[in-house]
Structure 1
Amino acid sequence: MDIDIGIKAEDRKASANALMRLLADTYTLYLKTHGYHWNVEGPHFQQLHALFMQQYTEMWTASDELAERIRALGFYAPGSYAQMAKLASLSEEDGTPPDWKTMVKTLAKGHEHIAATARDVLRTAEAAGDDATADVVAPRVTLHEKTAWMLRATAS
């Protein structure tokens, strides 16, 4: 069926493509955070193990919401990590896990990066008149900025 939601096809495509990049970065940071949850060690183990679980759970839920918005715009969401890796601008973790403090700093940078990516999606959605995408993405900016701040404070 044709889609007629009041947004031109090319604008829906622009929003969906921007959302796919945000989804890929979110999914990459989700995987990194989950890996850190499994492998964190040190004097703050319990605190960080629980914190990382809270964070990866939130990103898992957000990934679903982002993918569903892509589908609502009439496009397919990336469905494999190979597709995600091609779209992501964040790098995945490779090799032996770092020490706890490096984990925290790396995640803070990741959340800052995703906040910036989400801002780009907002600009695209606003230009397209895509209020629903903006409504989905605006809280992501707030969440990732707050999470980055809390992680920076933890690493201090």
Structure 2
Amino acid sequence: MEAKIGITAKNRQAVSEQLAKLLADEYVLYTKTRNAHWNVEGPDFLSKHKFFEEQYGLLEGFIDSVAERIRKIGHYAPATLKNFLALTHLTEYSERKNDSLGYIKDLLADHETVIEFIRGNINPIADEYGDAGTSDYLTGLMEEHEEMAWILRAHL
């Protein structure tokens, strides 16, 4: 059934395409944070193991909320690893040491990439596509990523 929410089908499609990219970014960032949680080594292992667990817990909620936002505007969320890897702005880890500092730097860079992507979509989604709801949602999500980036940055 088509969503009749005051936004044209063409505009809902355009918004859903941006949200699909964001969903892919969130999923890749979640996976990378899980990787850090599982594989971190060093004298700060326990504190960083717990820290990364808190971080991926937040990201898990973001993933669900982005997917549900896509559904709310009448589209289906991409839900395969193949789709996520094709849509994401992020890259997977290359071979690296499993130290907390390296993970934190990588994750911070990814959060900053996500923040820039979201920030670049807030006004166009409201102004060009007439979707104030998604624009507002993205503003809140961006603020969540800004806080996570700040916390990561504070560890450096």
1:19·1:121 contact (CA, 8 Å) conserved in 2? no
**Which residue of structure 2 aligns with residue 129 of structure 1?**
130
Q: Give the Cα separation in 1 of the matches to 2:140 and 2:83.
A: 25
Q: Residue type of the partner of 1:84? A: F
Q: Is the aligned partner of 1:63 residue 2:63?
A: yes
Q: What percent of counterpart residues are identical?
A: 38
With normalisation by structure 2, the TM-score equals: 0.92
Q: Is the aligned partner of 1:20 residue 2:7?
A: no
1:67-146 alignment to 2 at 5 Å?
A: 67-127=67-127, 128-146=129-147
SS where residue 4 of structure 1 aligns? Answer: coil
With 44-53 and 94-103 compared, the bigger mean Cα shift is at 94-103
Deviation at 1:107, TM superposition (A): 0.7
Q: Is the aligned partner of 1:41 residue 2:52?
A: no
1:28·1:88 contact (CA, 8 Å) conserved in 2? yes
**Equivalences, count:** 155
Q: Give the Cα separation in 1 of the matches to 2:32 and 2:97.
A: 10
1:14·1:124 contact (CA, 8 Å) conserved in 2? no
SS where residue 60 of structure 2 aligns? Answer: helix
Deviation at 1:31, TM superposition (A): 0.1
**Which residue of structure 2 aligns with residue 8 of structure 1?**
8
Deviation at 1:43, TM superposition (A): 2.2
With 109-118 and 88-97 compared, the bigger mean Cα shift is at 88-97
Listed as ranges, the gaps of 5+ residues in structure 1 are none
SS where residue 90 of structure 1 aligns? Answer: coil
SS where residue 124 of structure 1 aligns? Answer: helix
Deviation at 1:97, TM superposition (A): 4.8
**Which residue of structure 1 aligns with residue 152 of structure 2?**
151
Deviation at 1:96, TM superposition (A): 4.8
Distance 1:75-1:97 versus aligned 2 partners, 3 A rule: farther
With normalisation by structure 1, the TM-score equals: 0.92
Q: Residue type of the partner of 1:137? A: L
Distance 1:135-1:7 versus aligned 2 partners, 3 A rule: same
Deviation beyond 6 Å, 4+ runs, structure 1: none
2:41·2:98 contact (CA, 8 Å) conserved in 1? no
Q: Give the Cα separation in 1 of the matches to 2:130 and 2:98.
A: 43
Listed as ranges, the gaps of 5+ residues in structure 2 are none
